[in-house]
Amino acid sequence: MKKIFLALMCAVLFASVSFANSISVGSMNVYNFDDIKLHAYSTNDNMNDHCYIVETPEGLVLIESTAYKENVAALSDYIKSLNKPLTAALLSYHPNGYKSYGDVKIYATENALKSWAENGSVYNLTQSFIQALGDKVAEDLPQTAEIITEGQTLKLAGIDFKILHSSDGEDYDIEIPAINAIYRHMMGSKTHNILPAVPYIEAEINDLKNYQAKGYTLILTSHNAPEGKKAVEEKISYLEKVLELAKNSKSKDEFIKEVKASFPDYAGEAYLEMSAGALFN
């Protein structure tokens, strides 16, 4: 009976076994891939941030941090509890609280690093969080990093991480061939995304069609739990419909109304409103 249960779990959860691990704030799920583990952290707060730790026999690689100090502290303590060296931090769009992880090498593209500097987009976003939420926010942002480029492959903790182009332009995507996974800042099959322009939506559709062609079985994102191939198909359908509505709607309000009617169960209404504001400014 136990073998049958595990087989079913493997089929459902990206050919891996997923189980919950204890963490003081938020929740942690762990996905097993032979000798590699993926620790997926959800903050379970109003930011709905997700961060990832890739664990190999040689060490740990952190993918993204999060916004609140208490979550950063909980994640840092969890990393220490794994009793392996943190060999690298791949910080794409969520670098807050980086000092809590100790003397770890941070990797970023030039554009990502610029976005963390004064008057950069992530810097300004962090300042707005501080104004609204005060000292709850992890305000420390890296000012230096090991610069990486699109198309570059890094060998970290004994496995490859390939740096890919992102439609956002300021962050970067990460391919992890050893577990057939891709990380991107935003997706979520049932969540609205920030879509500021028609060419951006078209680029997102192209990116996801490339995901289909490559056959990634695990999609990691900063604002949604890990998903599988079906999520990519669903997101392409969503983006194609949103693109149609963006081209045919005559106003911001009409666009929002039509998107909601087409996708009534989607979360992230604030993201939809941000998209509408940018598309119909």
One-letter amino acid at 184 equals: R
**What would the two tokens of residue 173 be?**
């995507």
Domain ranges, residue 199 = 189-218+228-281
Does 160 share its domain with 25?
Answer: yes
Burial class (CB in 10 A: 0-12, 13-18, 19+), 261: exposed
Per-residue pLDDT in tens (0 to 9) along the chain, 281 residues = 433 333 333 433 444 556 667 899 999 999 999 899 999 999 988 888 999 999 999 999 999 999 999 999 999 999 999 999 999 999 999 999 999 999 999 999 999 999 999 999 999 999 999 999 999 999 999 999 999 999 999 999 999 999 998 877 778 999 999 999 999 998 888 889 889 999 999 999 998 998 899 999 999 999 889 999 999 999 999 999 999 999 999 999 999 999 999 999 998 888 899 899 999 98
Does 139 share its domain with 195?
Answer: no
Does 180 share its domain with 137?
Answer: yes
In the prediction, which pLDDT does 18 show? 61
Does 175 share its domain with 259?
Answer: no
Calpha distance 111→93 (Å, rounded): 10
Does 14 share its domain with 59?
Answer: yes
In the prediction, which pLDDT does 5 show? 35
Which residues contact residue 58 at a Cβ distance below 8 angstroms, ignoring those fewer than 6 apart? Answer: 87, 157, 158
Does 79 share its domain with 120?
Answer: yes
Is pTM beyond 0.85? Reply is yes
The secondary structure element, H or E, covering residue 175 is: strand 173-176
Does 207 share its domain with 89?
Answer: no
